[in-house]
Amino acid sequence: MTQEVERRTKRKPPVKWYLLGPLTAAVSLPALMYLCAVLLAREILPFSLVEELTIACVFLSGTLSALAACAGRGGRAAQTGLAMGAVLAAAIVVITLAAPGEGPLSAHTLRCSVAAIAGGFFGGVLGMKRKNPRRRAGTRRR
C-alpha cells in the first residue's frame, strides 16, 4: 500500500497539451514571420515570395504546435495534431474578422487556414510513436 502511495506522489503532473500547442503556435508564428521579414528587408529573398513565405510560416507553425501538443499528450497524435491545426486556423479567421480589409473569407485566408490544418496534421503524424515490427519466431536469417 505504501509503495502505491509513493508511486502516485512521484508522478509528474501531465503537461496541459491543449495549452501547450496554441502557446507554441502563438510564439512560433510571429518569430517565423519576423525571420521572413528580415530576409525580405535585407533583400536576401525576393519580395515576390511574400505570400508563399506567409503560407510556409503558417504551415511550420502548425507543425510545431502539433508536435508540442503531441509530446504533452502522449497518445492520439494524429487527432491532436489536427485539432491544433484547426485551432490555429480558427485564430487566423478570427484575426482577419477583427482586421479591416477584404474580410474573413478571402482566398488568402482560406489558403492560410488550409496550411494551418495541414501543418497540424503533419506535425501530429510526425509525433506518432511507432511500434517496432515484431520478428516472426519461426523464421531464421541465413
Q: Residue 20: what residue type? A: L
Position 88 scores a pLDDT of 93
- Gap between the Cα atoms of 125 and 79, Å rounded: 9
Position 73 scores a pLDDT of 77
Reference 87, options 22, 31, 137; nearest CA is 22
- Gap between the Cα atoms of 37 and 60, Å rounded: 16
Give this prediction's pTM.
Answer: 0.79
Indicate whether 122 pLDDT > 60.
Answer: yes
- Gap between the Cα atoms of 31 and 81, Å rounded: 20
* Dihedral sign from CA coordinates of 78, 24, 46, 55: positive
